[in-house]
Amino acid sequence: MPHYARRVILAFCVVAALGVSSNILADDDDDGEDGDFERARKLSESGQIVPLEKILDTTRTVLPKGKILEIEFKDRSGKYFYEIEVLDQAGTVKELVFDARSGRLLKTKLED
């Protein structure tokens, strides 16, 4: 299956899961385990990190016609990040990295 087709299928899965803010992909220190989902939800509910909805609003402002492909929550030594992959109108996949505590966009990079 072509790389692009897999991303489109993943996008449909992500969009279907976004009905509730806690439905995000969570990864702890890039070890491949999806065990941080509950932690991200609790951190958001306690006000320690920005809710996913706010991050998605900013993402839609930065890339208004983009399609969200993937959402990840990362915990790197107690620093929390949201990583949002977006397919823009030109067909380029971009990753937006947000500080989960402040909601500030830290960087935008092209994905391979």
The CATH number that applies at residue 79 is 3.10.450.40
Domains in the chain, number: 1
Radius of gyration for the chain, computed over Cα atoms and rounded to the nearest angstrom: 13
pLDDT of residue 13: 45
pLDDT of residue 112: 73
Q: What is the DSSP letter of 42?
A: H
77: left (phi over 0), alpha (psi -120 to 50) or beta: left
If you search the block for the tokens 């939800």, which residue do you land on? 41
Q: Could you tell me the CA-to-CA distances from 105 to 10, 28, 65, 99 in Å, in that order?
A: 23, 20, 18, 7
Q: For the chain, which residues score pLDDT lower than 70? A: 1-36
pLDDT of residue 28: 43
pLDDT of residue 35: 54
pLDDT of residue 8: 43
Rounded to two decimals, what is the model's pTM? 0.69
pLDDT of residue 33: 43
The parent domain of residue 41 ranges over 3-110
